[in-house]
Structure 1
Amino acid sequence: MFRRLLASAAALVVAAAAIVFIDRAADAAAASVSITATQASNGTTTLTYRATVLKAGAIREVTMAIPAGTTGRVTSINGTVSSVTRTVLRWRPTRVTNVAVGARLAIPLYGLKLPAGGPWTLGFKSIGTAGQVITSGAGVLQPLKTYTAAVAVKATNPIPAQTTNLTYQATVTKAGTLAAVRMQLPTGATGTYSTINGTLTVDAGYATWKPKSPLNVATGARLAIPVNGVQLSRYGGTMSLTVSATTPTGTVLSTGAATIAFIAPPAEMPVLAAAGFASPPAGCPDTWPTTSAENAKPGTGDWVIPTSMNGTLAAYLTQVSASCGDSVDLKVTSGNPVSVVAYRMGYYAGLGAREIWRQDDVPTVLQEAPTTGGASADGKPLRMTSAATWSKTLSIPVDKNWVPGTYLIKISDGTSATYAPLTVRDDTGTKHALMIQQATATWQAYNSYGGVSFYTGLDTGSGRLTFDRPYNEGQGSGQYLTLEQGLVFWAESKGLDVTYWTDNDLDQYGGQLPTRAGTLFLPGHDEYYSLRMRAALSQAIAHGVNVANLGANTAYRVITFTDETRRAWDIDRYTDGYNSTTWRYQGDAYASQPLLGADYICPVLGNTLTTGSGWIFDGVPNGTALPGFIAGEVDYVWPDLYKQPGLTTLAAGTGACRSNGRAAPMHVTAYTAPSGARVLNGSTFAYGCFLVGRCPSNWTVPSPDAASQKAVATIVANITQWVSRGTIAVPADTTAAKIRVTVPKHPLQTNTQP
């Protein structure tokens, strides 16, 4: 009988080969040849050939076929191995070995590296010392079964800011004694952790599980280690988490990583009451003229302030918005008599405005300089610049002549002039097809008149901003002329059923939004949102109000109005600097993308958008270049933030980040909410300024030519018709509306933070 002795010290190097050993058929079935493969600890394969002895005798040699392409350094036991051909090896015993009929031979070959493929039919033959065939046949070698770690991590509740149980799974790739499993925890996770069948320790972002006693595990065994009570960070994303299983000596039995997504759905918002409408005050109408009827009235270009009249004269109103029956106070610093003229902004045959009210020879004083200071209740410096102590110059009655719309109050002493903006709401309870919002909170954030803005002054900027001072941008209009007049001009040129309100109104009357309008347009730069503003927008979408955000960087920073007057708002820049001022700092659930479809990435100076073939570009030839349309600031779809079901990208381009010059993707997105509301995110500032062919003077953007203006007007019309579900029919025309007066271009302050 064949006995195992000491292994031979000789080794045979096997090279790749292409010849297959062919065994003769005689007595093959009776030989019962079998060939098995096992994986060695060094990664090579051991083949064991077994066969039944058919004829007694002393073994002289055994020849065995190996798969073509096999390599390695081959050894065996109780004999030496040599090569007959590239696919046949010969084993010779180191001493006389007699075998009887029926005995079972077992010849191991160590150190082989098998090729891919299989199974293989391989011959086996044993020859006796007298030259007789002791046994002969063929066996089938199945490919070696190998295992990968196949790591997986599963979560019972993969929602950021919530508690979940994680199960880490891995396949053993090397047999041994399991002593520990080290598992990477999600970034920022905390909690009171627990597990089963072992102990758990947590350190430096890893949890290590140890069994109650060492476990012997075979290759292919599947590990499943629970880590319970994991409190996920409020910031999620797609994370790659590693798993490693080791022996008491540190030998790795399995190692790998798995990807798991922790994606936050939109944050729940407080419910806002939908208050009713009061009856119109005495002398105010129940209904207002249509947009077409209003714009058929004579317009004027006298509203324009030439840059030659820029000076120190400044003014502000004591209300951001008003409605018929209100009285608004005006405060002016000049010292000279002034004329005060109210202009309703619109189309008016291309002149852009109509004079509504005026008062001439109004006496003024030179007001004291604004003051900067103040502290929060907990002693934080607010650095608020205010001109609240200015004396009133006059009161302006908002009566039946003030058709709801956006207004610029022009104050002029004949040498210098300025604007004070006002929005007049329609508070009759009439539901309009379209509402355009004015980004008043954002205008104020960038306002540095007399001292400090959110971004500039006293090194770190302010923590409280007030409307009790003039705007230093846009000749006193804030960001209205640079970014928002274009939407007003376009909508009124088309005769759309449009109404208006402000950020402040969204905070105060947000619960009424579904009863005020079917579709809401957000302007180019509507960055600063209170909780009530965000709740109102979210609630409106849930109630079927369509939203077209014709801008970017929307609802990015979180503010709190200080009281019911909404004359000032606070922003938390103390917790974590610029980070803590953002909605996303509250957690991924509060990012803009879950609400609107895309999220802010960075400021850009101006890059070209090339049109495509989707519905948004209907009427614009495919491949049309719009130089400078990717401008101001841009949004894109972040892969690790929540995406609304059915979210699609309608247009895409690339801008260059102003802060570092790196490429920034821009995505125009759209989705339909469960309510049926359609939501579009325009992802660039440029819509409004292209509609009037006048973009900010400090953008590296060419003045939009007639072709670009017409293309963007067509795009905005397509957006309007899609987002309104066809309820707003935009009249077709062959040329974009032209503004007939020369309006100065103004620089625009934008966020320089990434």
Structure 2
Amino acid sequence: MGSEQIRRWESGALAHAVTDPFGQGPVPWLRGGETYFGDSGQIVPWYVDPEPAPRPGGRGGGTRATTTRSSPDGGGPNAADDVHLQIKGFTSTGAVAPGDAIDFHITVDPPQEFSVDVYRIGHYGGDGAAKITSSPRLSGIVQPAPLAADRTVSCHHWWLSWRLQVPTYWNIGAYVAVLTTADGYRSHVPFTVRDNQPADLLLLLPDITWQAYNLYPEDGRAGASLYHAWDKDGRLLGEADAATTVSFDRPYAGAGLPLHVGHAYDFIRFAERYGYDLAYADARDLHAGRVDPTRYRGLVFPGHDEYWSAAMRRTTELAREQGTSLVFLSANTMYWQVELSPSASGVPDRLLTCRKRKGPGKPVLWREVDRPEQEVLGIQYAGRVPEPHPLIVRNADHWLWEATGAHEGDPVEDLVAGEADRYFPRAPLPPYDERVLLAHSPYRDPDGVPRHQETSLYRSPSGAWVFASGTFAWSPALDRPGHVDPRIQRATANLMDRICKRD
């Protein structure tokens, strides 16, 4: 029984690993689904390339990662994991502006030198990322074990390993620090560089939802997320025994990339390829009031964005009322209500709390406090989709489907996947001048019950457009190898052009 349990959690840690995404060209990875494990204890991917993409020849636009030691499959350096903690790290700062510093806290076991290569996510001629800078060789140490209290795991006591002073000339965007040890183990730390300059579109990276799913350390002992924890025998426990508070002061599980991070990167590559004027921020920026919606024509929520604070929702609703459009490219958005609080040392917004159905107080589903998410999105979460189904085009004469070649009732294969939203007739709708459902797609839920997905668009009285794709698979269709669909690319461009008022 013991060895079986070890296989259960070790398989999870290793399955989360990514060998060398920045040597694979367009960064075509995605980890798992909305849960980490199937009944067998193995990761159950819902929408992922079964084999790594072949490495293309150089096409310009960035320097590729340097391979220091090959893994057995020849895919580049060995991926660090949470069992052995060969190299793991996190930043103790949120999004930073050019000219600011970002602090990295890194553990290395066994102690040895390591380096940090910093990449910016973008199109870059199809490469998907460009190397921007590299650190000098740094001295790595074994940091203290994570601290845990009531399932909340924190590494806030780790020593500072490296401070990156972001040059003023760096482009804003989504960045990944790639950590590599001298003996060839690798991990990743994502971070955001933002500013307050006006732009057509503001991309909001869902770091709050990323942290809710973070099971670090995924080692069969200490790790906990808002979904899972471990018992004393290394068995994976469910939501009833999971954490109610998680900390941002810790690495992400496995290879250090958040669950669903690929959704945001898919949209970034698409938007940069077609020249959209894009600004960047994190969900915590939206929460903390650092986002002024009047500076943008549209706010884009590119990936799974399930956990929302009251302040996030208030600012987003205000944006819509002031004429700023909203674009939700995933499903199960704005589902749980959360609170953010300072760390023990007083740093703001380092602890994320969601009590779900545990303990006293009000329920924390937005729809259960009489504020269903449909009042913002126009549709809301309906449930899981156990295997991909086609999206069925509806209202094909609408301008969103213009020049896509889509006709009424056409299937867009595999586009309803992961989770799905639909219109709920008994839930209130937002005020609107125009409203249309652009897809109506039948599928069966995990129990075999017939369900359907819908894609929604409405125009607020302020003139703002609000689009909700109603499926996890929309962003991957924009620029993920093996999943690109030209109809979805064109439809998304039609929407963005309308919002950005391109001729």
Q: Taking structure 1 as the reference length, what is the TM-score of the superposition?
A: 0.51
2:337 is aligned with 1:558 = yes
Q: Is the 8 A contact 2:303 2:330 kept in 1?
A: yes
Contact map agreement 2:77 2:186 (CA 8 A) in 1: no
Give 1:681 shift: 1.0
Which letter maps to 1:476? G
Q: Aligned partner of 2:437: which letter?
A: T
Q: Which amino acid aligns with 1:495?
A: G
Matched, 1:539 2:311: no
Paired residue for 1:663?
450
Could you tell me how far 1:544 is from its partner in structure 2? 0.7
2:403 to 619, 624, 628: 619
Is 1:526 paired with 2:294?
Answer: no
Runs of at least 5 residues in structure 1 that lack an aligned partner in the other structure:
1-295, 375-382, 695-702, 730-754
Q: Which residue in the other structure is 1:603 paired with?
A: 384
- 1:420 — aligned with what? 189
C-alpha change, 1:674 and 1:452, in structure 2 (3 Å) is same
Q: Within 5 A, what are the aligned runs for 1:585-734?
A: 585-587=368-370, 590-604=371-385, 605-612=387-394, 613=396, 614-621=398-405, 622=407, 624-644=410-430, 645=432, 646-658=434-446, 660-694=447-481, 703-704=482-483, 708-722=484-498, 724=499, 727-728=501-502
Map 1:212-611; keep pairs closer than 5 Å: 298-302=61-65, 306=75, 309-312=78-81, 313-334=87-108, 335-374=111-150, 383-414=151-182, 415-427=184-196, 430-450=197-217, 451-458=223-230, 459=237, 460-472=241-253, 475-479=255-259, 481-509=261-289, 512-515=292-295, 517-563=296-342, 565-575=348-358, 580-587=363-370, 590-604=371-385, 605-611=387-393
Alpha-carbon distance in 2 for matches of 1:310, 1:486:
22
Contact 2:208 2:307 in 1 (8 A): yes
**Alignment coverage as a number of residue pairs:** 406
Alpha-carbon distance in structure 2 between the residues aligned to 1:393 and 1:318: 11
Quote the offset at 1:345 in angstroms. Answer: 1.0
- C-alpha distance 457-577 of structure 1, shift in aligned 2 (>3 A): farther
Task: Give the whole-Å Cα distance in 2 for the aligned partners of 1:713 and 1:307.
Answer: 32
| One-letter identity of the residue aligned with 1:607 | H
| Separation of aligned partners in 1, 2:443 and 2:154 | 37
CA distance in 1, matches of 2:287, 2:127: 33
- Larger Rg computed on CA atoms: 1
What is the SS of the residue equivalent to 1:675? coil
* Cα distance between partner residues in 2 of 1:370 and 1:432: 40
Alignment RMSD (CA, Å): 2.4
Q: Is the 8 A contact 1:693 1:709 kept in 2?
A: no
Q: Is the 8 A contact 1:510 1:537 kept in 2?
A: no
Matching residue of 2:54: none
Task: Provide the C-alpha distance between the structure 1 equivalents of 2:66 and 2:380, rounded to a whole number of angstroms.
Answer: 36
**C-alpha contact 1:670 1:679 (8 A) present in aligned 2:** yes
Query: Would the aligned equivalents of 1:301 and 1:352 in 2 still touch at CA under 8 Å?
Result: no
Shift of 1:665: 1.3
Find the aligned partners of 1:489 and 1:521 in 2 and give their Cα distance.
14
Which AA in structure 1 matches 2:272?
E
Q: Deviations over 1:415-460 (max 9, x none)?
A: 2111101111123xx2100111100000000000110010001431
Contact 2:336 2:356 in 1 (8 A): no
Counterpart position of 2:36: none
CA distance in 2, matches of 1:355, 1:477: 17
Q: Secondary structure at the match of 2:292?
A: helix
* SS of residue in 2 equivalent to 1:537: helix
The alpha-carbon distance between structure 1 residues 481 and 533, as it changes in their structure 2 partners (threshold 3 A), is: closer
Question: TM-score, normalised on structure 2?
Answer: 0.76
Structure 1 pair 554–339 and aligned structure 2 pair: CA distance change class (3 A): same
**SS of 1:638's equivalent?**
coil
Offset from partner CA, 1:385-407 (integer Å, 9 cap, x none): 11112111111111213211110
Cα contact 1:299–1:355 (8 A) shared by 2: yes
Aligned-residue offset at 1:655? 2.9
Equivalent residue, structure 2, for 1:250: none
Structure 2 runs not aligned, ≥5 long: 1-58, 82-86, 218-222, 231-236
Q: Hey, which of these two has a bigger chunk of helix by percent?
A: 2
